[in-house]
Homo-oligomer: A and B are copies of this chain.
Amino acid sequence: MLSDNIAVLFPGSGMLLVKQDPGNVTFPKNNHDHGRCIAVALDKAAAVCMDRGVRLTELRRRVLEIIWQNHKPLGAYSILEQLRQDGRAAAPPTVYRALEFLLEQGLVHRIASMNAFVGCSRPGHISDGQFLICRSCGSSTELNDGKLEKVITRNSGSLGFTVEHLTIEVSGLCPHCRRARGEPAQYSNCPVSGEDSSGTEPT
Protein backbone atom coordinates (compact mmCIF):
# COMPACT_ATOMS: atom_id res chain seq x y z
CA MET A 1 0.00 0.00 0.00
CA LEU A 2 1.01 3.53 -0.55
CA SER A 3 0.86 4.59 3.04
CA ASP A 4 3.41 1.97 3.93
CA ASN A 5 5.80 3.43 1.47
CA ILE A 6 5.40 6.88 2.90
CA ALA A 7 5.75 5.48 6.36
CA VAL A 8 9.14 4.16 5.38
CA LEU A 9 10.36 7.33 3.75
CA PHE A 10 8.83 9.82 6.12
CA PRO A 11 7.93 8.16 9.32
CA GLY A 12 6.07 9.86 12.08
CA SER A 13 7.29 6.79 13.89
CA GLY A 14 10.33 5.41 12.12
CA MET A 15 13.79 6.86 12.47
CA LEU A 16 15.73 5.45 9.62
CA LEU A 17 16.34 8.75 7.93
CA VAL A 18 16.42 10.89 11.03
CA LYS A 19 20.17 11.04 11.17
CA GLN A 20 20.54 11.80 7.52
CA ASP A 21 17.87 14.43 7.31
CA PRO A 22 16.99 15.70 10.76
CA GLY A 23 14.62 18.55 10.08
CA ASN A 24 12.70 17.31 7.13
CA VAL A 25 11.56 13.81 7.81
CA THR A 26 8.21 14.95 9.08
CA PHE A 27 6.85 18.42 8.84
CA PRO A 28 9.60 20.71 10.18
CA LYS A 29 9.29 21.06 13.94
CA ASN A 30 9.12 24.45 15.53
CA ASN A 31 12.32 24.21 17.46
CA HIS A 32 14.47 21.79 15.57
CA ASP A 33 18.15 22.47 15.14
CA HIS A 34 17.88 24.19 11.84
CA GLY A 35 21.52 25.15 11.82
CA ARG A 36 22.10 21.49 11.25
CA CYS A 37 19.67 21.45 8.33
CA ILE A 38 21.72 24.18 6.73
CA ALA A 39 25.08 22.61 7.47
CA VAL A 40 23.99 19.24 6.18
CA ALA A 41 22.51 20.74 3.03
CA LEU A 42 25.66 22.70 2.24
CA ASP A 43 27.88 19.72 2.94
CA LYS A 44 25.84 17.42 0.76
CA ALA A 45 25.79 20.03 -1.98
CA ALA A 46 29.54 20.31 -1.89
CA ALA A 47 29.84 16.54 -2.06
CA VAL A 48 27.42 16.24 -4.94
CA CYS A 49 29.16 18.94 -6.94
CA MET A 50 32.58 17.53 -6.22
CA ASP A 51 31.37 14.15 -7.32
CA ARG A 52 30.00 15.48 -10.57
CA GLY A 53 32.88 17.76 -11.36
CA VAL A 54 30.77 20.91 -11.36
CA ARG A 55 31.64 24.04 -9.47
CA LEU A 56 29.75 25.10 -6.39
CA THR A 57 30.99 28.68 -6.55
CA GLU A 58 30.69 31.12 -3.68
CA LEU A 59 27.68 32.75 -5.29
CA ARG A 60 25.91 29.45 -5.83
CA ARG A 61 26.75 28.30 -2.36
CA ARG A 62 25.49 31.53 -0.89
CA VAL A 63 22.22 31.34 -2.83
CA LEU A 64 21.74 27.79 -1.60
CA GLU A 65 22.42 28.95 1.93
CA ILE A 66 19.89 31.75 1.62
CA ILE A 67 17.30 29.30 0.34
CA TRP A 68 18.01 27.03 3.27
CA GLN A 69 17.59 29.75 5.86
CA ASN A 70 14.28 28.09 6.59
CA HIS A 71 11.89 25.56 5.11
CA LYS A 72 9.78 28.15 3.34
CA PRO A 73 9.92 28.47 -0.43
CA LEU A 74 11.63 31.74 -1.25
CA GLY A 75 11.07 34.04 -4.23
CA ALA A 76 13.92 34.91 -6.56
CA TYR A 77 13.69 38.58 -5.75
CA SER A 78 13.91 37.90 -2.03
CA ILE A 79 17.10 36.03 -2.69
CA LEU A 80 18.29 38.95 -4.77
CA GLU A 81 17.58 41.34 -1.93
CA GLN A 82 19.59 39.28 0.48
CA LEU A 83 22.51 39.03 -1.92
CA ARG A 84 22.54 42.79 -2.10
CA GLN A 85 22.53 43.01 1.66
CA ASP A 86 25.72 41.01 1.52
CA GLY A 87 27.16 43.96 -0.35
CA ARG A 88 27.40 41.93 -3.54
CA ALA A 89 26.47 43.38 -6.89
CA ALA A 90 23.45 41.50 -8.10
CA ALA A 91 20.71 41.68 -10.67
CA PRO A 92 17.95 39.20 -11.51
CA PRO A 93 20.07 37.14 -13.92
CA THR A 94 22.61 36.61 -11.16
CA VAL A 95 19.99 34.89 -9.06
CA TYR A 96 18.33 33.01 -11.87
CA ARG A 97 21.58 31.62 -13.14
CA ALA A 98 22.50 30.36 -9.72
CA LEU A 99 19.03 28.88 -9.38
CA GLU A 100 19.33 27.23 -12.76
CA PHE A 101 22.51 25.55 -11.65
CA LEU A 102 21.06 24.43 -8.33
CA LEU A 103 17.98 23.07 -10.07
CA GLU A 104 20.07 21.18 -12.59
CA GLN A 105 22.10 19.60 -9.83
CA GLY A 106 19.00 18.65 -7.89
CA LEU A 107 19.90 20.84 -4.94
CA VAL A 108 16.75 22.93 -4.95
CA HIS A 109 13.20 22.60 -6.21
CA ARG A 110 10.95 25.12 -7.80
CA ILE A 111 7.47 25.42 -6.33
CA ALA A 112 5.37 26.28 -9.35
CA SER A 113 2.29 27.28 -7.39
CA MET A 114 4.32 29.92 -5.55
CA ASN A 115 6.96 30.96 -8.06
CA ALA A 116 9.45 30.17 -5.36
CA PHE A 117 12.35 27.90 -4.54
CA VAL A 118 13.10 25.57 -1.69
CA GLY A 119 16.02 23.37 -0.72
CA CYS A 120 15.90 19.75 -1.78
CA SER A 121 15.80 17.32 1.09
CA ARG A 122 17.57 14.62 -0.91
CA PRO A 123 20.28 16.54 -2.73
CA GLY A 124 21.37 14.99 -5.95
CA HIS A 125 18.50 12.55 -6.22
CA ILE A 126 16.65 12.66 -9.48
CA SER A 127 13.02 13.24 -8.68
CA ASP A 128 10.58 16.08 -8.93
CA GLY A 129 9.31 15.29 -5.45
CA GLN A 130 5.99 16.19 -3.86
CA PHE A 131 5.46 19.11 -1.56
CA LEU A 132 3.23 19.85 1.37
CA ILE A 133 3.04 23.60 1.85
CA CYS A 134 1.36 25.30 4.78
CA ARG A 135 -0.73 28.25 3.73
CA SER A 136 -0.44 29.71 7.19
CA CYS A 137 3.26 29.62 8.07
CA GLY A 138 4.64 28.95 4.60
CA SER A 139 6.73 25.97 5.64
CA SER A 140 7.03 23.08 3.28
CA THR A 141 7.99 19.45 3.41
CA GLU A 142 9.23 17.39 0.56
CA LEU A 143 7.95 13.89 0.05
CA ASN A 144 9.37 11.39 -2.39
CA ASP A 145 6.71 8.81 -2.84
CA GLY A 146 7.91 6.59 -5.62
CA LYS A 147 4.71 4.59 -5.64
CA LEU A 148 2.65 7.69 -6.13
CA GLU A 149 4.83 8.62 -9.07
CA LYS A 150 4.47 5.15 -10.50
CA VAL A 151 0.71 5.18 -10.14
CA ILE A 152 0.41 8.49 -11.95
CA THR A 153 2.86 7.42 -14.61
CA ARG A 154 1.03 4.18 -15.11
CA ASN A 155 -2.38 5.81 -15.37
CA SER A 156 -1.09 8.49 -17.70
CA GLY A 157 0.51 5.78 -19.77
CA SER A 158 -2.80 4.01 -20.12
CA LEU A 159 -4.05 7.15 -21.85
CA GLY A 160 -1.05 7.10 -24.16
CA PHE A 161 0.69 9.91 -22.36
CA THR A 162 4.41 9.69 -21.66
CA VAL A 163 5.28 11.34 -18.37
CA GLU A 164 8.39 13.46 -18.10
CA HIS A 165 7.83 15.74 -15.15
CA LEU A 166 5.48 15.66 -12.22
CA THR A 167 4.35 18.76 -10.38
CA ILE A 168 2.65 17.75 -7.16
CA GLU A 169 2.07 20.51 -4.67
CA VAL A 170 -0.31 20.20 -1.78
CA SER A 171 -1.37 23.28 0.10
CA GLY A 172 -3.12 23.25 3.42
CA LEU A 173 -2.37 23.47 7.11
CA CYS A 174 0.68 21.98 8.75
CA PRO A 175 0.29 20.17 12.08
CA HIS A 176 1.57 23.13 14.07
CA CYS A 177 -0.70 25.68 12.48
CA ARG A 178 -3.59 23.28 12.61
CA ARG A 179 -3.08 22.88 16.32
CA ALA A 180 -2.73 26.62 16.82
CA ARG A 181 -6.30 26.92 15.56
CA GLY A 182 -9.40 24.86 15.82
CA GLU A 183 -9.63 23.65 12.28
CA PRO A 184 -10.92 20.30 11.12
CA ALA A 185 -8.45 17.73 9.89
CA GLN A 186 -10.20 16.80 6.69
CA TYR A 187 -9.87 17.46 3.03
CA SER A 188 -12.02 20.48 2.41
CA ASN A 189 -11.69 21.60 -1.15
CA CYS A 190 -11.59 25.30 -1.82
CA PRO A 191 -12.23 26.90 1.56
CA VAL A 192 -10.78 30.13 0.16
CA SER A 193 -8.50 30.47 3.13
CA GLY A 194 -8.62 33.98 4.50
CA GLU A 195 -6.19 34.40 7.34
CA ASP A 196 -2.49 34.02 7.15
CA SER A 197 -0.42 34.40 10.29
CA SER A 198 -0.16 31.97 13.13
CA GLY A 199 1.20 31.87 16.64
CA THR A 200 4.16 29.57 16.35
CA GLU A 201 5.82 29.47 13.00
CA PRO A 202 8.18 26.65 12.21
CA THR A 203 11.54 27.61 10.84
Contacts and interface: CB of A to CB of B under 8 A. Distances in A.
A163 B170 contact: yes
* Identical copies of this chain, number: 2
A113 B128 CA distance: 13
A3 interface: yes
A12 interface: yes
Is the contact region of chain A dominated by helix, strand, or loop, or is it mixed? mixed
Interface in A156-177: 156-175
Interface of A: 2-3, 6-7, 10, 12, 26-27, 112-113, 126-128, 130, 132, 134-135, 141, 143, 145, 148-175, 178, 183-191, 193
Given A143-B155, A167-B169, 13 more contacts: A2-B151, A26-B159, A27-B161, A112-B167, A132-B161, A149-B187, A152-B168, A153-B187, A163-B170, A163-B172, A164-B172, A166-B170, A167-B167
